[in-house]
Amino acid sequence: MRRNYALPLLLLALLSLSACSHTLRGTGDLGVVIERASGSVQLVETSGRTALQRIEGLGDLSHASVVYSRDTRYAYVFGRDGGLTRVDLLTARIDKRILQSGNSIGGAISQDGKLVAVSNYTPGGVKVFTADTLELVAEIPAEYGDGQLSKVVGLVDAPGQRFIFSLFDAGEIWSADMHDPANPKITKFRNIGRQPYDALITPDGRYYIAGLFGEDGLALLDLWHPEKGVKRILPHYGRGEKKLPVYKMPHLEGWAMAGHYAFLPAVGHHEVLVMDMNNWQEVARIPTHGQPVFVMARPDGRQVWVNFAHPRNDTLQVIDTATLRIIDTLTPGKAVLHMEFTPRGEQLWVSVRDEDRIDIFDTETVQRIGTLPADKPSGIFFTDRAHRIGL
């Protein structure tokens, strides 16, 4: 008697598809929230505004940042203790972790997604690893002067398979061409200003801008025309005025780019500066509640949201980019540290560290629409960063 295997095989296939429908998911709406006090991260999703799982054992996350693999399966977490941790978002576990230095401040992933670079305070320099195995492929000591090593800040990826970064102690900007990872080609730009403390690259990848803590102004490098060297912009803002104590350094990665305007935090002032990127000239100053830390634009550029340094860090303000006026002031709670827009900008997620929660706002109504518990949250990083230059 001939057996008919077709029906059992069909049932098995249907059961497999049914099982897969409950276990498989995409990563495009996922994100990571840093829980700085406990050395953990929360895996969250924005479609349903829920926390999925906590992942522990990531070390010192007091100044942590995150980049993503180009397929958005893996998050690379850069810890203050020199830890570089690769987290698998689909299995919600640590895939690999290494301690690569004594004190690191951030990192970047290369244009092709194959290299992960880490900027280090101790010892000063940049280390570059393979993205899939975290094997060391290059080490770039930030040497200057008589064999001294500088702290490295403002590390970003750039078109042309490059990493760009600043040397805090040396007052320099370096560009590393990584086409041959074992032999990086370094171009150095010296005397760019005193103490570059952070930097950004514009969304189109053309301009690298370093903020200067040791003096007023900023340093701009046109990556299309590096032969022109570094240009100083806004060199006189704040001159002749008594600056306030700086309780927390602004983060230039969170600059707002809206239309042809850039909105940036003024170091030591209760102001947001507005700059015309066509000529790099200041066009306005917007008085704010406190010293701005993050100045971030909604993806459509219609709003700019601002948070502030201690002791006024319980507040958010919303700037209308058409009128250059503050249109809303919110007080979510103690220690508003970081913000992140969902990819199309309908939500803003806000970490409220000292109240152990994440607040979620509808950016159209400027109303809170949800909260999630979190253990001393700070940085929030969504996976759409994987497809944006410099993030």
Six-digit token string for 261: 């305007």
Averaged in consecutive runs of 10 residues, what is the pLDDT profile of the chain (391 residues)? 49 42 84 96 98 97 95 97 97 97 94 98 96 98 96 97 98 98 97 93 94 88 98 75 56 79 87 94 95 94 95 97 97 96 97 98 98 97 96 89
Instruction: Give me the domain span that covers residue 197.
Output: 100-247
Q: Tell me the sheet residues that pair with 118.
A: 107, 127
Q: The CATH number of the domain where 150 resides is what?
A: 2.130.10.10
pLDDT for residue 306: 97
What integer pLDDT is reported at residue 12 of this predicted model? 46
- Report if residue 306 sits inside a domain: no
**Residue 16 domain flag:** no
Residue 167 included in any domain: yes
Q: Does any domain span residue 343?
A: no
pLDDT the model gives residue 32: 98
Residue 214 buriedness (CB in 10 A; 0-12 / 13-18 / 19+): exposed
Write the DSSP symbol of residue 283. Answer: E
Q: Would 201 be classed as within a structural domain?
A: yes
**Residue 63 and residue 153: Cα distance in Å, rounded?**
12
Q: Tell me how many domains the chain contains.
A: 1
- Indicate whether 11 belongs to any domain: no
Nearest Cα residue to 219 out of 247, 243, 191: 191
Burial per residue of 78-111, b for 16 or more beta-carbon CB atoms within 10 angstroms, e otherwise: bbbbbbbbbbbbeeeebbebbebbebbbbbbbbb
Residue 303: inside a domain: no
Distance CA 259, CA 124 (A): 37
Q: What is the predicted pLDDT for the residue at 358?
A: 98
- Asked if residue 223 belongs to a domain, the reply is yes
Tens of pLDDT, residue by residue over 140-187, are 999 999 999 999 999 999 999 999 999 999 999 999 999 999 999 999
